[in-house]
């Protein structure tokens, strides 16, 4: 036993050294990517904005001022006022809370379920693998937004259900990524070694397989986040997500759009700013995702 | 496909509320509800209901719309040409712009132009499609008054319907004014719908071109003294098209989702618009029909892509 321990230590030491240099390597590549850095900065601003929304926002996002309907940008209201005279800047700031949280929640659902399914399918293989992956294929056979629409119709329209629906739709992508990296790791010598040391399946999965499958998982999850934010906004637009008067970015655009044709003439700013917020947030996530992929995948390094 | 139909069936049945009750309204008596339930076969056990549904579905009968009372299939077929015209045009824009830009970016890798296009493409896939549509309306429809909206044709334009495709019908009847009008109405929705596929096609073309241009046979061709543009198009692009075609096929699903939104914003009388309406009116028979046909189409398109693969790449044989 003592000998085995010593052997494990001997294996562990070079591994930890390698992990650190890998981390250094990763951060250097990532930080030298200007677009990824830009994305990270913008995203941080959005997150700070979301956390400190009550402190940052100049007005209550729900308080109406019908006198100021579609009033254009001014010093008092830098982004102008919307169809009910609400301050758009404040609504965009509070919207960061809802839209980002919703996107993250959807990705969390997809990642948790997808990792579990991919892990089990990849690790055990055989019959389990076939059944789980066919199930994933059925989900993939639907155009994603159509499936989300059906799920929300079944559960009833609400922001929480929209998150759940988007989460479910993205499970197969995560599951596939995890499965393929698990399969490539499964037969490695160090897994064999763990098994020889008497580790059970669960232990091998969590200590051996999972940590070595994280890189592609992180990349996939980040890129999924970008799509999730977009799709949740789209569901809100279809009336299946956040409802008025919630200051969610997609719902803000919907409310403005549905207020009538006048918005295209006099309320253009009400259409521009929430959309810019969505696009900027998603773009930053995409930049970060691309940067992560380039930094984590040695094959892509130029 | 069978799995898909089971999932759709179960989900639609899981939607809360008794369809018979919805059909008759709140004032219906219990006996009326019972009669309708009997007529719709809702008293049968679920597996039997599913088989009945499948039997009808295979023959193209997906039941009647709960709102208009007309058969779902008819309702969808009437609107198919409008959606087809829109998506085809959007895809055309996506390919005509995406492929050349991807090739240029790959040939001039890391140039300023390449970086510019890359950021532009990423911006393209980061924009919510309904926002892009609204911004297009604001810029070209309202502020510049260049392009007309909403709908498919101006109120004064009449076109004899043959195929249901405005552009084809107007040309067949030599109605050039109608053709021009239809084209103008088509531009904004098509750009809105085509932007994301365009960006995706561009990125895919670029990366597969880069890969192919590094191959030995490309180097050989260069060494042989083949003119550069021939190397790029004959040796490079032809082989780089394979992944691009796959990606184009995969865009089909995205286009369907995008069509729902685009058609709603531009009041385009297609399947997407009816999908949106049936969602907001809780017309479950219609939703079921749209999703089922959508999934079927999606599977079909991917099959088509596989076949196309074999045509493009002689190494692939089935």
As a three-state string, the secondary structure of chain A is: CHHHHHHHHHHHHHHHHHHHHHHHHHHHHHHHCHHHHHHHHHHHHHHHHHHCHHHHCCCCCCCCCHHHCCCCCCCCCCCCECCCCCEHHHHHHHHHHHHHHHHHHHHHHHHHHHHHHHHHHHHHCHHHHHHHHHHHHHHHCCCHHHHHHHHHHHHCCCHHHHHHHHHHHHHHHHHHHHHHHHHHHHCCHHHHHHHHCCCCHHHHHHHHHCHHHHHHHHHHHHHHHHHHHHHHHHHHHCCCCCCCCCCCHHHHHHHHHHCCCHHHHCCHHHHHHHHHHHHHHHHHHHHHHHHHHHHHCHHHCC
Instruction: Note whether B141 contacts A: Cβ–Cβ < 8 A.
Output: yes
Tokens 């997500």, residue? Answer: A241
Query: How far apart are the C-alpha atoms of A157 and A243, rounded to whole Å?
Result: 9
The percentage of chain A sitting over the pLDDT mark of 70, rounded to a whole number, equals 90
Condensed to tens digits (0 to 9), the pLDDT of residues A194-209 reads 888 888 888 888 877 8
Would you say how long chain B is, in residues? 318
Number of Cβ within 10 Å of residue B31's Cβ equals: 8
Segments of chain B assigned to CATH 1.10.3720.10:
81-317
Tens of pLDDT, residue by residue over B130-172, are 889 888 888 888 888 778 877 777 777 777 777 777 777 777 7
Interface test with A, best of B6, B8, B13, B257 (most A CBs within 10 A): B257
Paired strand residues for B71:
B64
Distance from CA of A156 to the nearest CA of B (A): 8
Query: Confidence band (pLDDT; 50, 70, 90) for A212?
Result: confident
Q: What gap in Å lies between CA B282 and CA B66, rounded to an integer?
A: 9
- DSSP letter, residue B15: S
Task: Report pLDDT for B252.
Answer: 73
Which one of A21-35, A63-77, A215-229, B154-168 scores highest in mean pLDDT? A215-229
Residues A231-246 have pLDDT tens digits of 888 888 888 877 777 8
Q: What is the distance between the alpha carbons of residues B276 and B79, in angstroms, rounded to a whole number?
A: 13
User: Which residue ranges form the domains of chain A, and what is each CATH number?
Assistant: 25-53+86-300 (1.10.3720.10)
Q: Give dist(CA A172, CA A170) in Å, integer.
A: 6
Domain B81-317 has CATH 3.50.30.30: no
Whether residue B271 contacts residue B77, with contact meaning beta carbons closer than 8 Å, is answered with: no
Residue of B nearest to A153 (CA): B15
Q: Do B128 and A234 touch (CB under 8 A)?
A: yes
Is A150 an 8 Å CB contact of chain B? yes
> How many Å apart are CA A252 and CA A160, to the nearest integer?
17
Q: Which of B126, B280, B295 sits opposite A283 (nearest CB)?
A: B126
Min mean pLDDT across A54-63, A223-232, B32-41 is at B32-41
Task: Compute how many other C-beta atoms are within 10 angstroms of the C-beta atom of residue A101.
Answer: 14
- CA–CA dist B18, B32 (Å, integer): 13
Indicate the residue of B131, B257, B265 with minimum beta-carbon distance to A143. B257
A176 within 8 A of A199, measured Cβ to Cβ: no
A253 inside 8 A of chain B by CB = yes
Helix, strand, coil percentages (3-state) for chain B, rounded to 5, are 75, 0, 25
Q: Are A148 and A157 in contact (CB under 8 A)?
A: no
Alpha carbon of B123: minimum distance to chain A alpha carbons (Å)? 6
pLDDT in the model for residue A12: 47
Q: Are A179 and A213 in contact (CB under 8 A)?
A: no
Q: Taking residues A176-192, what's their average pLDDT?
A: 84
Å between B267 CA and nearest CA of chain A? 13
Q: Any idea which residue has 């079909």 for tokens?
A: B300
Predicted confidence at residue A301, as pLDDT, reads 46
Whether the predicted pLDDT of A3 surpasses 60? no
Mean pLDDT taken over chain A: 81
Provide the pLDDT for residue A245.
78
Model confidence at A58: pLDDT above 70: yes
Distances (CA, A) of B278 to B263, B272, B283: 14, 10, 5
Least confident of A7-16, A116-125, A182-191, B112-121: A7-16
* Burial track B42-60 (b if 16+ CB lie within 10 A, e otherwise): eeeeeeebbeebeeebeee
Q: What distance in Å separates the CA atoms of residue A82 and residue A27, rounded to the nearest whole number?
A: 42
Residue ranges in chain B modelled with pLDDT below 50: none
Average pLDDT, chain B: 78
Instruction: Give A1's pLDDT tier (boundaries 50, 70, 90).
Output: very low
Q: How far apart are CA B39 and CA B13, in angstroms?
A: 16
Confidence of residue A66 (pLDDT cuts 50, 70, 90): confident
For residue A87, the SS3 value is strand
The residues with which A273 forms a beta bridge, in sequence order, are none
Best B115, B118, B126 residue to mutate vs chain A (most A CBs within 10 Å): B126
CB B214 within 8 A of CB B110: no
pLDDT at B20: 54
Contacts of B260 in chain A (CB under 8 A): 145, 149, 238
- Residue A4 pLDDT more than 60? no
Closest CA to B198 of B129, B294, B109: B129
Nearest residue in A to B14, CA atom? A154
Name B309's Cβ contacts closer than 8 Å, sequence gap at least 6: B242, B245, B246, B316
Residue A142 and residue B119: Cβ atoms within 8 Å?
no
Residue of B134, B292, B301 to mutate, interface with A, max A Cβ within 10 Å: B134
Q: In whole angstroms, what is the distance from residue A154 CA to residue A135 CA?
A: 19
Q: Is B303 on the interface with A (CB under 8 A)?
A: no
Dihedral of the alpha carbons of B169, B175, B181, B187, in degrees to the nearest 10: 50
Q: How many Cβ pairs closer than 8 A exist between chain A and B?
A: 139
DSSP class of A73: P
Task: Report pLDDT digits (tens) over A85-132.
Answer: 788 888 888 888 888 999 999 999 999 999 999 988 988 888 888 888
């Amino acid at each position: 036993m003592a000998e085995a321990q010593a052997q494990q230590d001997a294996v562990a030491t070079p591994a930890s050294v390698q992990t650190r240099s890998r981390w250094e390597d990763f951060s250097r590549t990532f930080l030298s990517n200007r677009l990824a850095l830009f994305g990270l900065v913008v995203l941080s601003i959005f997150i700070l904005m979301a956390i400190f929304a009550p402190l940052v926002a100049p007005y209550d996002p729900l308080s109406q001022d019908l006198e100021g309907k579609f009033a254009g940008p001014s010093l008092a209201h830098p982004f102008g006022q919307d169809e009910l005279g609400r301050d758009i800047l404040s609504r965009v700031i509070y919207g960061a809370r809802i839209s980002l949280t919703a996107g993250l929640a959807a990705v969390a659902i997809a990642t948790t379920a997808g990792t579990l399914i991919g892990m089990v399918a990849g690790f055990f293989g055989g019959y389990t693998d076939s059944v789980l992956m066919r199930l994933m294929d059925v989900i993939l056979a639907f155009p994603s937004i159509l499936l989300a629409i059906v799920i929300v119709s079944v559960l009833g329209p609400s922001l929480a259900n929209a998150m759940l629906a988007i989460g479910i739709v993205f499970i197969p992508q995560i599951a596939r990524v995890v499965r393929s990296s698990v399969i490539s790791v499964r037969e490695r010598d160090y897994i064999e070694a763990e098994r020889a040391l008497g580790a059970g399946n669960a232990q091998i999965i969590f200590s051996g397989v999972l940590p070595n499958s994280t890189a592609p998982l992180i990349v996939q999850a980040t890129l999924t986040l970008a799509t999730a934010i977009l799709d949740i906004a789209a569901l809100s637009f279809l009336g299946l997500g956040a409802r008025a008067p919630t200051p969610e970015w997609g719902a803000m655009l919907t409310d403005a759009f549905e207020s009538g044709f006048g918005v295209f003439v006099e309320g253009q700013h009400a259409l521009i700013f929430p959309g810019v917020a969505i696009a900027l947030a998603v773009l930053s996530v995409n930049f970060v995702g691309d940067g992560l992929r380039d930094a984590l995948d040695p094959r892509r390094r130029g | 496909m069978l799995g898909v139909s089971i999932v759709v069936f179960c989900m639609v049945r899981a939607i809360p509320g008794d369809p018979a009750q919805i059909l008759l309204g709140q004032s219906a008596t219990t006996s009326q509800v019972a009669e309708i339930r009997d007529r719709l076969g809702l008293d049968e056990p679920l597996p039997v209901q599913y088989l009945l549904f499948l039997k009808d579905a295979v023959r193209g009968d997906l039941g009647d719309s709960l709102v208009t009372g007309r058969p779902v299939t008819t309702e969808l077929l009437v609107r198919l040409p409008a959606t087809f015209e829109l998506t085809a045009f959007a895809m055309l824009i996506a390919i005509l712009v995406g492929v050349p830009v991807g090739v240029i970016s790959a040939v001039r890798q890391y140039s300023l132009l390449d970086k510019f296009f890359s950021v532009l493409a990423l911006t393209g896939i980061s924009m919510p499609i309904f926002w892009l549509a609204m911004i297009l309306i604001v810029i070209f429809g309202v502020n510049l008054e260049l392009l007309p909206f909403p709908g498919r044709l101006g109120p004064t334009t009449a076109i004899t319907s043959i195929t249901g495709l405005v552009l084809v019908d107007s040309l067949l009847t030599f109605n050039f004014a109608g053709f021009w009008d239809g084209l103008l109405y088509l531009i904004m929705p098509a750009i809105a719908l085509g932007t994301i596929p365009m960006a995706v096609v561009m990125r895919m073309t670029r990366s597969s071109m880069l890969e192919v241009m590094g191959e030995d046979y490309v180097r050989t061709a260069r060494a042989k003294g083949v003119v550069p543009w021939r190397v790029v198009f004959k040796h490079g692009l032809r082989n780089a098209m394979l992944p691009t075609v796959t990606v184009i096929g995969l865009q089909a699903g995205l286009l369907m989702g995008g069509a729902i939104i685009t058609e709603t914003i531009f009041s385009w009388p297609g399947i997407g618009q009816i999908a949106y309406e049936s969602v907001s009116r809780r017309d479950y028979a219609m939703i079921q029909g749209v999703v089922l046909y959508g999934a079927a189409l999606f599977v079909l398109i991917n099959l088509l892509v596989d076949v196309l693969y074999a045509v493009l790449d002689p190494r692939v044989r089935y």
